[in-house]
Chain A
Amino acid sequence: EAQVTQNPRYLITVTGKKLTVTCSQNMNHEYMSWYRQDPGLGLRQIYYSMNVEVTDKGDVPEGYKVSRKEKRNFPLILESPSPNQTSLYFCASSLSTGGPYNEQFFGPGTRLTVL
């Protein structure tokens, strides 16, 4: 089954404790992306990757890191989480960003609470 998986689905942590949210897709997609969703703000792109070893900042990259060492995986790293990073996070992938192949497939989401 074609899918994007994220782990963990729920996480409660404390300020400053490094964490990683994993994301994996099995569709051989070139493009992967991380979003955060907050009430009234919609989905905001954190980082995206056009291909292996190619990553770029989105609209809200502060406090986050990513890596793309393999095509299928795109982990999101919070080196020193703070309460303002409490949010719902989605990983997504697509064949490309333009043309008819930019349909993004989203993972199930990770609800993060930073105390």
Chain B
Amino acid sequence: GQSLEQPSEVTAVEGAIVQINCTYQTSGFYGLSWYQQHDGGAPTFLSYNALDGLEETGRFSSFLSRSDSYGYLLLQELQMKDSASYFCAVSGTGNQFYFGTGTSLTVIP
């Protein structure tokens, strides 16, 4: 079957760096994506990793290790507006998408 594990909650201080981990188990694998969702809003795409390594997009970076079935999202220079839920998701050869249960990030002053 498919499963994705990520921490349920993380708290970090404004200006700091936070890492949200995701481990996955899936049959067939195209890549690992990350989405952000603010309360009451729709998920929005942040990043996608198909190959091992680090992808950087501004303050956000995402890492993938295919051999370890593991990835993480790194948020730098945290801002209050980064308080949101973050979901990892995998797409596989079955054309389905599977999402983790989400990590609620709270940024405190």
B45 touches A42 (CB 8 A): no
Task: Decide if B87 touches A42 in the complex (CB within 8 Å).
Answer: yes
- Interface pair B42/A107, CB less than 8 Å apart: yes
- Which of B42, B44, B48, B50 gathers most chain A CB within 10 Å? B42
B70 in the interface (beta carbon within 8 A):
no
CB distance from A44 to the nearest CB of B (A): 7
Tell which of A40, A104, A109 touches B97, judged by Cβ atoms closer than 8 Å: A104
The size bracket of the interface on A is 20 to 34
CB of A56 within 8 A of CB of B95, answer yes
Q: How far is the CA of A42 from the CA of B100 in the complex (A)?
A: 6
- CA gap between A41 and B91 in the complex, in Å: 18
Contact A97 B100 (CB under 8 A): no
Q: How far is the CB of A38 from chain B (nearest CB, A)?
A: 10
Interface residues of B (CB under 8 A from A): 30-31, 33, 35, 41-45, 48, 50, 87, 89, 91, 95-102
A residues contacting B by CB (< 8 A) are 31, 33, 35, 40-45, 48, 50, 56, 58-59, 90, 92, 97-100, 102-109
